[in-house]
Amino acid sequence: MSSTTATVSDRVTVEIMGKKYQVPQGITVIQAMWYTGHELVRGIGCLGGVCGACGIVYRTRDSYELKNGMGCTTLVEDGMSFAMIPHYPASRAHYKMSEIQNAKEDLVTYYPEAARCVNCNACNRVCPQGIDVRTSVWCAVFGDFQEVADLTINCNMCGLCVSRCVADMAPNLIALYARRSLGVFYQPKPEAVLNRIQEIKEGKYNKEWDKILTADEKKLKELCTTNK
Amino acid sequence: MADLKILQQVVENSRESRKGYTFPLLPPEERETLLQKYHPDYRADAYRPVRVGPNAGEKTVHEVADLLEAQSPLWSGSGGQAVKLDPDYTVDVLIIGGGGAGCTAALIAKEQGASVLLATKLRVGDSNTVMAEGGMQAAIQPEDSPIRHYLDTMRGGHFKNDPQLLKVLVEEGPTAIQWLLDLGVLFDRDESGKNLRVRSGGATSTPRLLTCRDYTGLEIMRVLKDALVNEEIPVLEYCPAIELLSDPEGFCTGAVLKNFDNHQFIVVAAKTVILATGGSGRLHIQGFPTSNHFGATGDALPLAYRLGARLRFMDTFQYHPTGVSYPEPMAGILVTEGIRSAGAQLLNLKGDRFINEMDTRDVVAAAIIRECKEGRGITTPSGRVGVWLDIPMVDLANGEGTLEKRFPNMMKQFSRYGIDIRKEPVLIHPTLHYQNGGVQIDVDGESTVRNLFVAGEASGGLHGRNRLMGNSLLDIVVFGRRAGRAAAQRARNLRHRPLSLSHLETFQEELKRAGIAARNVSPILIPDYVHREEAATSQKK
């Protein structure tokens, strides 16, 4: 944060929510907000590109294209105009995993709009994480939840796809439903976990615990050297 | 820019010859000397004894001491605002903080039948949890055991960990994993798909890390938040706690929140309160950059302390060895330890290795600081200093495509700035990563103040003087669950008690006795990065 001391020649002109400012080159949109005196509470989060708090919409000089990104990882450039989208209203289903009968069939009950995709591809163009959002929606509709999970592992739930979807759906929430359902209904329960829980319950380690919890630091250090 | 490209050639030229060579572990005496000489925890001038409260006389860093000795925003004597203590909400359990620990506690408290309210400073899910890349430890493999997990963690924590807390952590680890699986968390699986895949982590004797590629925290947080929303647990976002409430006996009875949107106070009467506000990296202790979330300003510390709760290990912080020092916009951001587990090597300016990459975080961090202090670091264009982390070694050691498959997040982050980590080394320097200590708790998460519970990074004792990779994700689930359960069960047999700020009077007397005329106010809630001077001239005319 201390690096934004630049000479005037290194400056670029940007438009922040309709107002022009000069800021140093090479800084992010969020840093430009601070530089120009904006105190941020909304639209700021992990500052590392994974939490999805700081969605932005922007244009660059000489392009008609409307672009989106995350404010903490998008660098300013001369002639850029941007605004923040800290939240985008989304259609969210309410469900309890315990009450779902058939997760694949129920998807269109909870999210009927999921079947309205017209393949416009706007979601794929907007996703700051590079996710194939459109395919994930189709996979969800057709019940291939494993594919949804593989495609959307890095979804940061920023909701920018929601802002562009012409079918008014929330692809990120649809993917989340599919992901959770996959885990709850369609993946085998790992036996190793169940076995270990059982062993602990049965007191398999109690004798060792007695020894370890009464050991002094020297003894513990010894035990660590043989902990293999 | 060009300079760095030239400097990194020494790393690239020697890559093939370094393959398969493990730098020897330091003998115990040398580790100790290294830590004392170079680890930030040992810098005497960074510390001072805190002058008031339950830990009076004990040393902590200036930044934390300042928080603990500051005024409450509600202390009228120094111009604080008056608040009328008529409750806006009356609940069994109030949870403060919406990260992994807070959401877990809320889900369990609700399951126990309590009426629950979750208040958080930013959005639900805004937390350090969401950023956790490395994984989550749990002893589930047949050749592993809770005992081994315990010993590894003890060694990592310099044998100072609270034995009872640690025993609970390792024994309930597998149950915590089962709970997450039942909520729909998708941990990476082995080839058969039947069992979970485990990976190695720093300073563990056997592979024990469960992962969701390098998005483990993100996956867990997404699911916890979705569960919270679908359980219809009442949530107040952008409403941080600014003071706790107490009754004449000093028990915790609720909290005062501040609504960021309309600046109004919200008074919550609660039978029990769970503080889960996370860590304190955004205090930039000793001037370090941080890997932490924007909201990590250590809010639990002054809140609990003014009410009389004891803190533990507030003199030790974790500086993660590999924070980015170049490119500048990524400064402080983490390069996951998983990358070193997978074979990435550390090299100095001369291209020499200088430490076993898988030693504990404090030792590796100290070694990097030593290299930089002794002139063997590399200076970036913006004046930061760092050493090389040779990431391409991962593909060389494990086969092409490994980085792409296991560390897509890391690849993507660097690629935004034109750096291909499959081909080039990156510059790193230790970054402030974790608050090893915090509010003292018992095995149910209760602090030394009755009816005040604390869970997650805000608490202290479990990790001793150095937390092991993967133990914090486990911590938030195991102790989030315990605190949620205990707070809900306690609330069953309680009536609502009086709401007062009388603890502030006691605290004020202490400040007076210590001769402290505190003007600053805590918790600070929002770190201040606004450039006020530049802002005045930045508007284009």
B28-47 pLDDT, tens digit per residue, is 899 999 999 999 999 999 99
Of A3-7, A76-80, B223-227, the one with minimum mean pLDDT is A3-7
A4, A50, A223 member nearest B409 (Cβ): A50
**Radius of gyration of chain A, Cα coordinates, nearest whole angstrom:** 25
Task: Give percent above pLDDT 90 in chain B.
Answer: 87
Report pLDDT digits (tens) over B418-437. Answer: 999 999 999 999 999 999 99
From the candidates B208, B282, B340, B361, give the one annotated as an active-site residue. B340
Alpha helices in chain A (DSSP H): 29-35, 103-110, 122-126, 133-141, 145-152, 160-164, 171-181, 191-201, 206-213, 217-225
SS3 content of chain A, % helix, strand, coil (to 5): 45, 10, 45
What was the pLDDT predicted at A26?
Answer: 86
Nearest chain A residue to B284 by CA distance is: A1
CB contact under 8 Å between A227 and B205, yes or no, is yes
pLDDT (0 to 100) of residue B59: 97
The model's confidence at residue A2, banded by pLDDT at 50, 70 and 90, is very low
Which regions of B343-384 does DSSP assign to beta strands (E)? 345-347, 378-379
B153 has a pLDDT exceeding 70: yes
What is the pLDDT, as a whole number, of residue A6?
41
Query: Which of A51, A130, A212 lies nearest to residue B147, judging by beta carbons?
Result: A212
- Is it the case that residue B266 has pLDDT exceeding 60? yes
Place of tokens 């509010």: B439
The tokens describing B515, both together, are 């001769």
Query: What pLDDT, on the 0 to 100 scale, is given for residue B259?
Result: 98
Q: Provide the pLDDT confidence category of residue A9 given band limits of 50, 70 and 90.
A: low
Residues A192, B195: C-beta atoms closer than 8 Å = yes
Give the Cα separation of A142 and A165 in Å (integer): 19
Asked whether the beta carbons of B274 and B287 are under 8 A apart, the reply is: no
Mean pLDDT confidence for B148-157: 95
Could you tell me the sign of the dihedral formed by the alpha carbons of B39, B42, B47, B49, in that order? positive
**Per-residue pLDDT at B78:** 63
DSSP codes joined into one string, B49-68 = E--SSTTTT-EEEHHHHHHH
Candidates B306, B318, B341, B245; CA nearest to B53 is: B306
pLDDT score recorded for residue B1: 44
- Name the strand (E) or helix (H) holding B510: helix B502-513
- Above 70 in pLDDT, residue B377? yes
- Residue B344: its pLDDT value, please? 96
Task: State whether B184 and A179 contact (CB < 8 Å).
Answer: yes
Per the annotation, the verdict on B340 as an active-site residue is yes
Query: Known catalytic residue: B513?
Result: no
**Inter-chain touch B184–A20, beta carbons under 8 Å:** no
Residues of B in contact with A75 (CB under 8 A): 329
Asked if residue A8 has pLDDT above 60, the reply is: no
Query: In the predicted model, is pLDDT for residue B518 greater than 80?
Result: no
**Per-residue pLDDT, A3:** 39
Average pLDDT taken over every residue of chain A: 93
Give A17's contacts (C-beta < 8 A, 6+ positions apart): A82, A83, A84
Per-residue pLDDT band for A154 (boundaries 50, 70, 90) equals: very high
Q: Which of B131, B167, B184 sits opposite A184 (nearest CB)?
A: B184
**Residue B382 above 90 pLDDT?**
no
Among B127, B186, B220, B224, pick the best mutation site for testing chain A contact (most A Cβ within 10 A). Answer: B186
pLDDT in tens, A29-59: 999 999 999 999 999 999 988 999 999 999 9
| Predicted local confidence at residue A125, as pLDDT | 96
Q: What is the pLDDT of residue A225?
A: 86
Quick one: tokens of B198?
Answer: 């485990």
Cis peptide before B523 (omega within 30 of 0): yes
Min Cα distance A153 → chain B (Å) is: 7
User: What number of C-beta contacts closer than 8 Å exist between A and B?
Assistant: 215
Which residues pair with residue B367 across a beta bridge? none
Phi (first) and psi of residue B325, to 5 degrees: -110, -10
Task: Tell which wins on pLDDT, B356 or B203.
Answer: B356
- CB-CB: which of A39, A157, A212 is closest to B530? A39
Residue A5 pLDDT level (bands cut at 50, 70, 90): very low
What is the distance between the alpha carbons of residues B262 and B188, in angstroms, rounded to a whole number? 44
Identify the three-state secondary structure at position B416: coil
pTM of the model: 0.95
Q: Which of A51-55, B208-212, B529-533 has the lowest mean pLDDT?
A: B529-533
What's the rounded mean pLDDT across residues B407-412? 88
- pLDDT on residue A7: 45
The chain-wide mean pLDDT, for chain B, equals 95
pLDDT of B532 above 90: no
Q: Chain B residue closest to A192 (CA)?
A: B140
Report whether A21 contacts B538 (CB < 8 A).
yes
Give the residues across from B346 on adjacent strands. B389
Percent of chain A at pLDDT exceeding 90: 92
pLDDT digits (tens, 9 = 90+) for B286-308: 999 999 999 999 999 999 999 99
SS3 percent helix, strand, coil of chain B, rounded to 5, is 40, 20, 45
